[in-house]
Structure 1
């Protein structure tokens, strides 16, 4: 299974963790190449998403504990502290603010979750 992203050939896939390490319809933080990455398991739709763990609003490493859902079909995460919301597909701030987040492609293979950097 691969999340619907255009994946450039230059993407390097990194093991994040086994599927069982991620809560159903929730997120967890993994560290890859010195970066904190928030990985989300949308188990109700079978989709996976990844983004930077740092919320750019207050520079806190917290997005993996954010509330996930969708906004008019767009998968999103809301910072648990200040409820700033971000698209998990594009990284766009859905509150209209100018700051955004980095997003990463995700794939699942043989029970393992991989993140593309």
Structure 2
């Protein structure tokens, strides 16, 4: 797990996770941000970055960063490595059970550093 470092800002507080090259395309990493496990994903050719909770509510385990990246009808998604439920990377909505949604986080890349908003 990557330990995040805080970045100073007057408007938003952003936390630097790691250099973008440490996240291989179509994979995820887990970062501890303000006491929360956040799954950060680099999708496609590496230009799309998403962040959501690492907690899988179906298996009750912190495993989503190890999930399989893909898409369903053009929607970027991650499949849980345990029971294979799929989550929309943009919204956190479970694509297999409309009653379940997990938290998402704003994410950006500044000077080749991946940052998450807290």
Q: Shared topology, TM-score over 0.5?
A: yes
Q: TM-score range by the shorter chain?
A: 0.7 to 0.9
Query: TM-score by structure 2 length?
Result: 0.85
Equivalent-residue separation in structure 1 for 2:44 and 2:19 (angstroms): 14
Aligned residues: 109
Gaps of 5+ in 2: 1-10
Equivalent-residue separation in structure 2 for 1:46 and 1:18 (angstroms): 13
Gaps of 5+ in 1: 1-9
- CA positional deviation for 1:59: 1.1
Compare relative contact order (CA 8 Å, sep 6+) and give the higher one, 1 or 2. Answer: 1
- Correspondence for 2:111: 110
Between 1:55-64 and 1:40-49, the stretch displaced more is: 40-49
Show structure 1 runs of 4+ deviating over 4 A: none
Query: TM-score by structure 1 length?
Result: 0.86
Equivalent-residue separation in structure 1 for 2:101 and 2:57 (angstroms): 7
